[in-house]
A and B are shown apart, each in its own frame.
Chain A
């Protein structure tokens, strides 16, 4: 790409990579603490409709309501801990929970329509102004414009927003080992090469859809649960830079409306719909005794849950669906016919989808399913790797000074194990149930700490050699060159002996992940033998990724998305192999270790990939829990 211009943005103080909810929170907060700092955003799409919230949301799933007397931060930590079978970073979760409400109230000031519930104030003795609750942690919103509203806040505070930049790599300091120096990428429209040199970098990029073979084929592959543009760049960028990762085995499988993947939260919590098997029977409780035996009473105690309303972990409910279907009593139905007789609830049910998963409404319209008269089917999705829903994949980050034990603290809140490199949203590991508002909050926390890092002079003296910049440029545009040369060998078509195109490459990755790492076609089952074989195939695939071809700039973006997804998947394999137990039945099963093993595995898994050799080192980190002082 000799005709491509190189565009350098230098002297940045705070660089935000990826402007979803995490990145927008970071840019917004960075300006508050860094009035004269140079704050720059690099975003793959258009900030007004990018990230997981591009389509909108019908609920904010993480809101404490502390000012109304509802919940305290530690209540949310305990909930997330139980839901994730103990494996969370409670310092980071407490920190997120104690700040998240201030973000939500800002959203309301900016114009986001939050529903109110005056009746509940009186009934529950809450302070005036309380929001409509969907569940204990969720509030209901008219969130079609959630993303444009939040984007406005970030755009206002940033010096520059670069849209349509596919960030492929982080830059590393050539003067000091293990310190970040910015990032590089290319503009997916012009093909120009972009270099961002910065003292501190906050990665707010997304988790990974489309790394496991999806249930739907052809066009339907676009209707993934997490956005198809969530290409695992949060992990691809961080792992490649040598940042330590945690809990990457903790992928998530979701129970969702079949094919359209419409969310079920509002249906269960607000509409009080429930599930039954194909024969109209309650099935869940039939599977709990066996699950209780496998995971132990500490994690599933149906009697205690009944008495105390202790939630049943998401993965175990998913496991009951998988077992019931495998026992031949599918399909699972959501019983909507009762709730939908109430016109208000019917409206909520539809608007829920129109506000965040229009594709589900399209599907019901296409198949003449009116949930008032037909109970729609549910299914379990293909697995996803992300860190802000009921799952906790991400980077191993420092917590705040006033909360974190020594193993969790190295100076700056939300800083990864690479100096000057911070995470937010999906990028941060061990913090499930952050959702949109919690991700925005994490961005704010990272930004305040990053400003402090810069003010402390920690970003001084960074050197980025011309060689590093030139080498990355050659590497980034190589797929265009590979295609150009290889294309001359063949008459026409997509089949070449010299290159593979991004889509067939993605399909190979999905097949490996599915068959060897516990995808849908094997009912989420794997074991040490399968994982070993899968990792060998991943290594060979990495060699082939050197021969990725791209016909144009758009395909070049897909090529680098695939590389990020591959790096993410490799790390998932390493973690899944390391944890020799089945901690989250329903998310995946290790056939060689079907029981939960607290004696050996009540720990967080941490990986480190050597930047130069690519070799992984796995370790265990202690799992700290909040306890009440006597």
Chain B
């Protein structure tokens, strides 16, 4: 659908306005509540639905191909680290799903590099990125290069060989 907002649930807090990637959730000046100003630029990404503290935002499938009478609702719980979905078909059948969204407490696992020692000149002059060669090799070797992998680059269509 585009998204739409239930009049009785929205209190105009603006969380949806703050998060919408398409800049289409705006506050209606008369009612002081949010609404979708440009449904044909809505991706149904659910960013606003997930951000709404009052479950005031819902989605009604795009009118040019989706019949009425369905719903896909979600609750994203940052504390529990889960997202729950409820899919209701036009004919009334329901399917429920639950998935994790993170394995770590928010805001705790990313190190500020300003607290680390400066990289050495040798590291700067190498082709290695931060913390490499950790994770890029099975053995103790360094970065893969043409030499280590016994490869050359040659120009021309004749070198487009099969796998």
Contact = CB atoms under 8 A, between A and B. Distances in A.
Interface string B21-43: 11100100000000001111111
B163 A82 contact: yes
A113 B88 CA distance: 27
Interface stretch (A224-232, A277-285, A427-435): A224-232
Interface in B34-67: 37-47, 59, 61-67
A111 B104 contact: yes
Interface of B: 1-2, 18-23, 26, 37-47, 59, 61-72, 74, 76, 81, 83, 85, 87-91, 93, 95, 97, 99-104, 106-107, 109-110, 112-114, 116, 118-119, 124, 127, 129-132, 134-138, 143-146, 149-157, 159-163
Contacts of B100: 113, 142
Given A113-B100, A365-B70, A368-B90, A49 B47 contact: yes
Q: Chain A interface secondary structure, helix, strand, loop or mixed?
A: helix
A113 B101 contact: yes
Contact of A403 (B95, B118, B146): B146
Interface in A468-499: none
B72 A365 contact: yes
B21 A46 contact: yes
Contacts of A627: 151-154, 159, 161
A6 interface: no
Nearest to B95: A350
A473 B1 CA distance: 36
Given A108-B103, A142-B99, A366-B68, 16 more contacts: A50-B21, A54-B21, A66-B136, A78-B163, A99-B132, A106-B135, A112-B103, A142-B100, A164-B23, A350-B95, A367-B90, A400-B127, A403-B146, A445-B129, A625-B160, A625-B161
A452 B26 CA distance: 42
A590 interface: no
Given A152-B106, A304-B162, A216 B64 contact: yes
Given A49-B47, A216-B65, A351-B99, A554 B23 contact: yes
10 contacts: A73-B144, A82-B162, A110-B109, A113-B103, A216-B64, A218-B40, A221-B40, A367-B66, A623-B157, A627-B151
A223 B43 contact: yes
A119 interface: no
Given A142-B100, A403-B146, A370 B89 contact: yes
B97 A350 contact: yes
Interface residues of A, number: 113
A222 B66 contact: no
Nearest to B44: A359
B80 to A, nearest CB: 12
Given A223-B44, A370-B93, A113 B102 contact: yes
Contacts of A152: 106-107, 110
B64 A361 contact: no
Nearest to A166: B23
Given A31-B114, A153-B110, A224-B43, A358 B160 contact: no
A35 B145 CA distance: 28
The 8 A-B residue pairs with the shortest CB-CB distance, nearest first, are A602-B157, A111-B104, A359-B44, A625-B159, A111-B102, A220-B62, A365-B70, A366-B66
Given A223-B43, A629-B152, A362 B144 contact: no
Contacts of B88: 365
